[in-house]
Amino acid sequence: MWKRSAQLLGGGTLVLVALAALFMISMRTKYRPVLTAVRRFNRAVANPQAMKTAGQPGAGASAIQHLGRTSGTPYETPIGPVATDDGFVVPLPYGTTPDWLKNVLAAGNAVIVHEGDTYPVSDPEIIPSSVAFAHIPLGEQRVLRAFAVDQFLQVRRVDSQNTDEHTTDPT
């Protein structure tokens, strides 16, 4: 009985390791069906959970508030920004295809809620990891490299003297 249990456990572990390796390879190579599946899962399950605390002090995610580029509908999306001297850099694990990113690039501005503070941002620009990694802690760089994240969104904080700092409308 113990021998059979050990065989099942070993076989199950082997299957999990193989699936994890396949997942990592798919993410690193940006294999479209896997990226689409992960994005759909995140949109349906992970993002609503993350949004419960996104932007609060100590939360695992911040929130980016943006307007739909055709509908004008306000949206909030969880992100993992890293603060810089004049703004933020945001890893783009799915590349430049997510709708929230297209909305921010089209509008030219957004609002980031990070660690309990609200920051209007502008001048969105896609930058390579060679530039972004100057702002990212080494441990996070290792994870981003493992998933072959090589594109980032860079935004600049808007001077709060000319903007209401607690607005939720990114226009």
Q: What does the pLDDT look like over 132-159, one tens digit per residue?
A: 999 999 999 999 999 999 999 999 999 8
Q: What is the pLDDT of residue 103?
A: 97
What's the CA gap between 54 and 114, in Å, rounded?
8
Look at residue 167 and tell me whether its pLDDT is greater than 60: no
Q: What is the pLDDT of residue 160?
A: 63
Count of CB atoms within 10 A of residue 37's CB? 12
Q: Which tens digit of pLDDT belongs to each residue from 14-35?
A: 888 888 888 888 888 888 898 8
CB 36 within 8 A of CB 157: no
Q: What is the pLDDT of residue 52?
A: 95
CA 73, 78, 79: angle at the middle one, nearest 5?
A: 120
Which pLDDT band holds residue 161 (cuts at 50, 70, 90)? low
What's the CA gap between 116 and 59, in Å, rounded?
9
Which pLDDT band holds residue 11 (cuts at 50, 70, 90)? confident
CA 40 to centroid of chain Cα atoms: 14
3-state secondary structure of 72: coil
Look at residue 7 and tell me whether its pLDDT is greater than 60: yes
Looking at residues 37-56, what average pLDDT do you find?
A: 91
Q: Which helix (H) or strand (E) holds 109?
A: strand 109-114
| Amino acid letter, 151 | Q
Domain boundaries, the chain: 31-162
- CATH number of the structural domain 31-162: 2.30.110.10
Q: β-pairing, 151-157 with 117-128?
A: antiparallel
Look at residue 57 and tell me whether its pLDDT is greater than 90: yes
CB 19 within 8 A of CB 37: no
What's the CA gap between 131 and 29, in Å, rounded?
21
